[in-house]
Structure 1
Amino acid sequence: MLDSYLTTEATKDHLVAARMATLMHEAKSDYAVAFRNVVLSELNQSKAERDLAAGKRARRPQVKELQSHCDTLDAILADLILASGHREALGYCYRSANRQAFSSSGTKATSRVYDWQMDSLEALGLVDRKKGYKAIEDFEGPIEDYRRATRIRATPALVEHAQRHGITHDNINDHYIKRKAKLSAPLELRAGKQSDQRGRILSCPSTAKATELRQQVERINAIYARHSFAGMPEPVVRRTFNCADSEGFDFNKGGRLWGDFQNMSPEARKNIRINGQPVVELDLKASQLTILYAITKTRMPDGDPYHIDGMPRSVVKAIVTAMIGLGHNNITRWPTESKKRLMDELGGEQPMTSKTFGKVYPITATAAKVLKRHPVLYHLSPGKLDWADLQFIESEVLISAILQLGEDCDIPALPLHDSIIVPKKDTAIGRMCLSGAFNRKLRRNPQIEMKE
């Protein structure tokens, strides 16, 4: 059954939500090879017809070129089918056609082949493509404009093609394997972000501290190399520090571990197997809010931190998240994505309009109720105590737990933002190590929720 959103006209928000097409996948199953061969035959025919119409002379490609055609198309098809399951972006992903991006990323795809194959896919109605465009954001004041890369998505025709070969976005890892990028750096430094744009990548200094942090990430990847994983991309992680251009930066902002498996949907994650075993997620409940209470030495209210009488839990959580993200409590309007998600969630069968939502949950009054429940949020300060600082402490907790589980207990634990994924049979020891790491760092006992 096809997802209807693959034919929906995209808004700016949908295009912004698109994830990058890495072009790093290779076919590993006979079904993926057969799928590619069928599509490649169609593309070659389409290209030949276009060349003939343009008066170009046809020539037989060399063996090396034929392999490049296969490698490039494998990478394109895998990314398109994978992205077709990303509902928030209506199935779109993005990829710059800049030739330098191909040569520096380690992909076997080549820019020349990519160009003609994408033209042919579009001509055959197998790909929907939106050219790169100029974007201007005005959240919290105007910023300079910038260009977004071209957005692409599989059409229903291509998705049906894949399904006839048994390939869907949910089982993509059974049919394709993702190669490691060349010279993949275990540490990544990014400048401060602007609006919804990630900060630019900065060079990482060759200091003793940077070396120690690199080795820490390599230890984690070495743990994963000793175990088997199924139903997910290869678990190779890097650690990304943020706001690295800020005054006083000392590898103390952001710092989360990132891996491709984190892009999987919650439903798809249920199919992950570690050493053949089903898994569970151990989630630090209200992680950054709890950390804020701990570092300010403030007593945290009892019970569910997101519970306020007469207000949906998701609304409270959205306000807390927005305040931490902004680094202050003076919120004057609802963040666009949060508002849209809450309208869909709370509207029921009758979708809630923006006007109705604003009347039911006026931002000023709603924020005031949250601040009354959690006055600790008054301690927030942009650049001094905000999401990047809290996320760093959170990342230190998770890394401590992952290393203890992997090196002392031979249990691989995958990071997932403020959670870890462990084999279900190791739930008890996973919970103990995560709680212990949190307590050692903050002298507080966290609330840990298990999700199957």
Structure 2
Amino acid sequence: MPLSLPLSLPQQHAMATFATLLDRPQSDLAKGLCNALLECLLRDRQKPKPRQKQKEAFGGLIADLLHRDPADNGGWLYRAIRPEGFTGEAIGYRVVRPIFEAMTADRFIEVELGKQRMAKGELTGGNWQIAGQQATRFRATDALRQWFEDRGIALADWHEHFGPDADALAKAQSKPQAYLILRGGKPPRSTGIGKRPSLPIDPKDPMTAAMIARMEKLNGFLSNQAIEPFGPTVHLKRIFAEGQLPDHGWRHGGRLYALSRGNYQNAKREARKAITLNGLSTVELDLRSSHLTILAGLGHVPKECLEGDPYTIDGIPRAIVKQWVTMTISHGKRHRSWPKEAAADLTAKYGIDPIKEYPIKETGDRILEKLPLPLGGGTNASVGWGELQFLESEIILSVMETLAYEHDIPALPVHDSLIVPTASAGLVKRIIGEIFKDRLGVSPVIEG
């Protein structure tokens, strides 16, 4: 059984969920308690009683804070507490900030302020620029939870007292959205800049226009579906990479991402089981070993590698094999040592120290005996992660379009899996198999 170790504070912060501020008190009890606590907080900070906008902002904060379970990775939320973090929202920065500061001062919330990392170098023209940033993290203290529990509201009955606010949702969904994003190459490590820059696109270019129209049509279909509890609707964007290449041809990446930051894709798999589509229960169907199956279809690895569980190798834990294959394909070549993040993740989840227990060269040699990845000369990959993601995303998108336009069935993507109505699982598996085999000549294993 995998060993689950306590997460460090930085790990908890990394797994924080976005504070949408889209829920409000719904029951008379919740409304009364929120108004009473807000008035108490602001009594010595402003002369007039709380305004309606302040009540809405406080209600949104309380709803998000009480909804997070402290046992779930520490119960942290994140949100940029600065003016641009509230642009186009139903709640404004000038309303939220004094309330946020009052709750911090009275120890109703614990706060880890946002950070920025600056860098300068050749890529930035010698000027200091933001190389990375982390939004403010915050969570409810035991004092806040206890205050509400003593008066009749606890985590277990949150849904009886809080829920979505229609006006806030409408305003958030009316903001202009970019359904197609092109990013450049990853900056050199020496620059200190980790994020790939977004590049301008020409919406009048025929290929670009066709891709935008394709996404607009799919999002138009999804906007008419009832999706809970991460809805009521979902909109998707498609992100491509390597846009700095003159011949990128929109063939690198292309995976589908949900637009809002507090979306279903960021939720744990267990939480996604609660999703309903038009009131119907759902199941998540996974393409097992998706990239390996694509490589087999392209003729880069023997199809025999897909028999049974391709990640099962005697003497090496499955988690080690899968991590090595995933990071090697993503990196485009073999690593000389275990990346720190990958090693820490394996230790936290499985109690395995790969650096000490599974030396990367010897372990990689063993894995390549079973799974001969297309590494030219044993070093560089002849097929990159970008092409594999593109082929995978095209299949997922085509399946979604077939379901939507031919069968009136919604589906939600989670990279290499699809969330679909349970009653339609058999049909979806058949369609995935047909499209996959038609494109690549192999049949995938579909789990779920």
Give the TM interval when normalised to the shorter protein.
0.7 to 0.9
Taking a change above 3 Å as real, the CA distance of residues 85 and 284 of structure 1, as seen in their structure-2 partners, is farther
Taking a change above 3 Å as real, the CA distance of residues 97 and 336 of structure 1, as seen in their structure-2 partners, is same
Residue pair 2:291, 2:388 contacting (<8 A) in 1 also: yes
1:76 equivalent among 61, 65, 89: 61
Q: Is the aligned partner of 1:289 residue 2:292?
A: yes
Aligned to 2:275: 272
Taking the TM superposition and a 5 Å limit, the aligned residue runs for 1:39-438 are: 39-50=34-45, 58-59=47-48, 66-81=51-66, 84=69, 87-88=72-73, 90-103=74-87, 106-135=88-117, 145-160=131-146, 164-165=152-153, 167=155, 175-176=163-164, 178=169, 179-180=172-173, 182-193=175-186, 197-206=194-203, 207-233=205-231, 234-259=233-258, 260-300=263-303, 301=305, 302-329=307-334, 331-347=335-351, 354=353, 357-378=354-375, 385-438=383-436
CA distance in structure 1 between the aligned counterparts of 2:56 and 2:379, rounded to whole angstroms: 49
One-letter code of the match for 1:175? G
Task: Give me the identity figure in percent.
Answer: 28
- C-alpha distance after superposition, 1:42-96 (max 9, x if no partner): 2332233245xxxxxx2456xxxx23213323443444455557945x3333322
Residue pair 2:117, 2:130 contacting (<8 A) in 1 also: no
CA shift, 1:338, in A, is 3.1
CA shift, 1:432, in A, is 0.7
SS in 2 for 1:252: coil
- C-alpha distance after superposition, 1:156-198 (max 9, x if no partner): 3344566643556996997225442501222223334467944
Residue pair 1:323, 1:377 contacting (<8 A) in 2 also: no
Residue pair 1:82, 1:169 contacting (<8 A) in 2 also: no
CA distance in structure 1 between the aligned counterparts of 2:148 and 2:390, rounded to whole angstroms: 41
Q: How many residues align?
A: 415
One-letter code of the match for 1:30? Q
CA distance in structure 2 between the aligned counterparts of 1:161 and 1:181, rounded to whole angstroms: 36
Structure 1 vs Structure 2 CA RMSD: 3.4
Aligned to 1:30: 26
Aligned to 1:54: none
Farther off after superposition, 377-386 or 178-187: 377-386
CA distance in structure 2 between the aligned counterparts of 1:360 and 1:180, rounded to whole angstroms: 49
CA distance in structure 2 between the aligned counterparts of 1:81 and 1:440, rounded to whole angstroms: 49
- C-alpha distance after superposition, 1:312-331 (max 9, x if no partner): 111111111111221212x1
Farther off after superposition, 306-315 or 37-46: 37-46
SS in 2 for 1:283: strand
CA shift, 1:412, in A, is 1.2
Taking a change above 3 Å as real, the CA distance of residues 214 and 120 of structure 1, as seen in their structure-2 partners, is same
CA shift, 1:203, in A, is 3.2
Residue pair 2:26, 2:162 contacting (<8 A) in 1 also: no
CA distance in structure 2 between the aligned counterparts of 1:400 and 1:189, rounded to whole angstroms: 20
Taking a change above 3 Å as real, the CA distance of residues 127 and 50 of structure 1, as seen in their structure-2 partners, is same
Aligned to 1:449: 447
Output the TM-score relative to the length of structure 2. 0.81
Residue pair 2:132, 2:194 contacting (<8 A) in 1 also: no
Unmatched segments (≥5 aa) in structure 1: 52-57, 138-142
CA distance in structure 2 between the aligned counterparts of 1:78 and 1:240, rounded to whole angstroms: 31
Residue pair 2:67, 2:155 contacting (<8 A) in 1 also: no
Unmatched segments (≥5 aa) in structure 2: 120-128
Spell out structure 1 runs of 4+ moving beyond 6 A: 380-384
Taking a change above 3 Å as real, the CA distance of residues 146 and 403 of structure 1, as seen in their structure-2 partners, is closer
Residue pair 1:280, 1:423 contacting (<8 A) in 2 also: yes
CA shift, 1:112, in A, is 0.8
CA distance in structure 2 between the aligned counterparts of 1:132 and 1:169, rounded to whole angstroms: 31
- C-alpha distance after superposition, 1:137-162 (max 9, x if no partner): 9xxxxx98544332222223344566
Aligned to 2:125: none
CA shift, 1:225, in A, is 3.4
